[in-house]
Structure 1
Amino acid sequence: EQNSSKAEQVLAEVARAIGRYPVDLRGARILTGNEEGSFGWITVNYLLETLVKFSFAEKWEHPWDTEVLGALDLGGASTQITFQPGVTVEDKNTSVFFRLYGTNYSLYTHSYLCYGQTQALKRLLAALHQ
């Protein structure tokens, strides 16, 4: 976001590298922090089989006896938090809706810029030097 020409160069290089493989690349872009948090939430819950799982009847089903989990992603420059709040999120900037495997999910998601591990360490070192 701070250097669009550099971002375009990186994405062009990614497209070139992926283009060497038999993949139908239809474009690439930088995710927003809220998208990163939301997709992380989907990944965590998918891997834990809280969204869908293969049943003993040999078909994919929604596991009604399990509860979806929240996700907290501590990155280098930012931290994302995403969870199902149980109430309607009024702020459209922090709400997201997904329909996954026939089930609706209304989530709260927020990206805290400059609160990642690397940024926190930089602030701590700066404070120690003062």
Structure 2
Amino acid sequence: MLNHLKIMLIAVTVGAILLGTLYVTEQQNSNTRTLQEVKSLLSTASVGALRDSQHVQQDPKDLIAHAVAEVIKLQKDHGHDIRINYACLNEQGKPTEQGSDMKSVQFNIQLLHGEEVRSQAEQRISLTK
């Protein structure tokens, strides 16, 4: 009887470890997938806005607002809070507020659980050819 109890306890412990590992792995996979989708959406929205305007001489805040609106529209059902920080950069990689100097935008995307950052990624999107 004691042998059966030991075997059962070992089986339950191994099962719990496997289920815990599966849960953590699934969370990481979900976070990675969501970050990739957001990065792709930001890139597509930014380039699309530039192609629509046919030049970079636009207000950087309009470009960012358009990109973030696209992300929010498509990511609202994922169940993650998303924080997006950005900086408009000139040719030397320095922050700029001038639309005529803007050559790229760097985004920092964070997936949040409450106030805790679960995952984050950075992407720089070139706005010129």
| Fold in common (TM above 0.5) | no
What's the TM-score, normalizing by structure 1? 0.34
- Which one has the largest radius of gyration? 2
Higher share of residues assigned helix: 2
